[in-house]
A and B are shown apart, each in its own frame.
Chain A
Amino acid sequence: MIEIRHLYKAFEDKEVLKDISTTFEPGKCNLIIGQSGSGKTVLMKNIVGLFTPTSGEILYDGRDFVKMSKREKALLRREMGMIFQSAALFDSLSVLENVMFPLDMFSSDSYKDRTRRALYCLERVNLKDAAYKYPGEISGGMQKRAAIARAIALNPTYLFCDEPNSGLDPKTSLVIDELIHGITQEFGTTTVMNTHDMNSVMGIGEHIIYIHKGEAAWEGSKDEVMNSDNERLNSFIFASDLFKKIKNSPSPSAAPAADTSPL
């Protein structure tokens, strides 16, 4: 469980995050949604410690991350996995070596066991065939899947995904969403995901926090998101005509969920 309490972040004089408080629970897909530039990436970077918050607390199962020393942070980070918007695979290593990297670094298993674990992770994301290819030789969607495999190699307690399906076609996006959802349920990870893709929201949004200009404007689940009367949230969700139509159709909340969840 990750608790965020009164988080503020400012760059020089520009305030990007204002008083954000929320709780991300284990075994759930926690989504951070919002317009471009609303501060989603900044929020996530604060949570994982790539930025230091101006003030506020971030508790990982009660451990205050902001106050930790560099060494303690490095130890806690072995429980984290992160998938970056650009996949961020090491391009001098093959896909298999990428997935093995965290294992080589931190696991005390034998080489054989590490290879077996890495191949299992690649199989989990359906990428065993590309194990010996280099990141430059595979497609964007495959890179994202390889990044997922690398992120779950050490069985993380906390999984972070920064727009995992940006730049992918709708079908591949669904595959990625389902993968993340499946992993979250299977291992009970605390998953936090940034997105502005409404398909993801309706498909896997078990807990959603909507950020508007750096403020937490709304919180709820995918079942509540369509029926909210929060104006700022509605202006974000119903920006697309498709969702306006869905809202005005006879059974508003059931329709999109039934469209997207089965795979």
Chain B
Amino acid sequence: MFPFNYLQSLGQYLQLMGRTFSRPERLRMYAKQYVHEMQKLGTDSIPIVLLISFFIGAVICIQIKLNIQSSWMPHWVSGYVTREIMLLEFSSSIMCLILSGKVGSNIASEIGTMRVTQQLDALEIMGVNPAAYIILPKVCGLITMMPFLVIFATASGIGGAYATAYIMGIITPADLTEGLQHDFHQWFFWMGVVKSLFFAFIIASVSSYYGYRVEGGSQEVGKASTNAVVACSMLILFSDVFLTSILS
């Protein structure tokens, strides 16, 4: 039974995606929805992304400088390591993991509520494809916004590192700057962006799937939103291993 359930879910998910990526009835309505979702899923996430990245950037810098750096290491090591962690892992994978909690549960509970209050049925009866009208703008909207969130996260993390230099005086700004500029590969930045596009698709589509198949009442909606977050996190972690090994 165990693998069978997963296969069945995978089949249902693929079927739903098939319905989602179909021709819009009226492009103007979808475009309106797309802009709305970019704002709701993307722009509204900027504050939390900036906040978390700022502190993580600061903490990484402090940890490396105080706990790891020793006299035989070059003085630019702290800045260098901070930059690489932010670019390679934090701003894409860890940030998406955090966003899957915020955005994923939001999407699953919104669609689940629409299901139990028959709003999806109402769309269907009007002759609108509910999967496409509700899910497609979310998927496209989040994919569009995710690279910007990655850029904001990286920038904010570096800002956090500078805060430790200027405010706390843990490292000299010159050392930090030298480390940040040391041996920079542009590809590392693009790798984060490419990974984040995949993660954005996972978050939007998987949590939509969990919301869409809700049956019953509010309790089911709550369960669906928890399950969506768990599933998104797992899939992001697995695909991170996979993507990192192909992209490196």
Contact = CB atoms under 8 A, between A and B. Distances in A.
Interface of A: 48-50, 73-78, 80-82, 84-86, 88-91, 101-102, 104-106, 160
B127 A78 contact: yes
Q: For the side of the interface on B, what is the size category?
A: 10 to 19
Given A84-B118, A90-B119, A106 B125 contact: no
A86 B127 contact: no
Contact of B121 (A75, A84, A102): A84
B163 to A, nearest CB: 39
A62 B121 CA distance: 25
A86 B126 contact: no
Contacts of B126: 77-78, 80, 101-102, 105-106
Contacts of B28: 104
B128 A50 contact: no
Contacts of B127: 73-78, 80, 105-106
A48 B117 CA distance: 17
Interface of B: 25-26, 28-29, 117-119, 121-122, 124-129
10 contacts: A48-B125, A49-B124, A74-B128, A75-B127, A76-B127, A77-B124, A82-B122, A86-B118, A89-B119, A101-B126
A18 B120 CA distance: 28
A105 B117 contact: no
Nearest to A98: B122
A88 B122 contact: yes
Nearest to A76: B127
A85 B127 CA distance: 19
Nearest to A83: B122
Given A105-B25, A105-B26, A74 B129 contact: yes
